[in-house]
Amino acid sequence: MTDLNEYECEMLDTLLAAFGVPDSLTRGQLLQLFDNDEAVAFAMVQALAREGLVAEKGKPARYELPEKLILKPKGEKFLKEGGFTKRHQTLQQQPTQVGGTLAKLQQQNMRLQNEKLAHQSQLGDLNKTIKALQTRQYILFVLIIIALVIGYCLDKWL
């Protein structure tokens, strides 16, 4: 599962660590862990199930949380060995293999080029905003000077 980011790995490790002495979590406990966000909870449970770390009991429907989630011994061992976070860090430290991952590198290159273009566009917009604000500042400065000169002249003539 290399498609997980660091935050998702931490969430999965937190979920694994939430299992108590009976090594099970109820549907209500799962929802409480994820602030009643059933979609996120369901995605995390599915990730753990794909890895074979948990067993589902009393699943009411295909896209709903199970009534009870049971931690398998494999899950407990996996968490003690560092869990998803350690696996993610290990994968990040491995050198990129050339050849089999050419398509992935091309996709990453395209994504980075798109990000670069987006950032350049944003930078251009910010530069335009800065120039407009500087122009406004100069105009206000000139108006203040004109007001001071008019005030001085009126004070001398009156």
| Residue boundaries of the structural domains of the chain | 6-94, 100-158
CATH number belonging to domain 6-94: 1.10.10.10
Q: CA dist 39 to 26, 34, 52, 109, Å?
A: 16, 9, 20, 31
The predicted model scores a pTM of 0.53
Q: What is the pLDDT of residues 76-114, one digit of tens each?
A: 888 788 888 888 888 777 765 555 577 788 888 888 898
Kindly report the average pLDDT of the chain as a whole number: 84
Q: Which of the pair, 142 or 12, is modelled with greater confidence?
A: 142
Say what percent of the chain tops pLDDT 70. 89
State residue 5's pLDDT score. Answer: 80
State residue 142's pLDDT score. Answer: 97
Cβ neighbours for 37, distance < 8 A, ≥ 6 positions apart = 31
**Given a cut of 90, is residue 49 above it in pLDDT?**
no
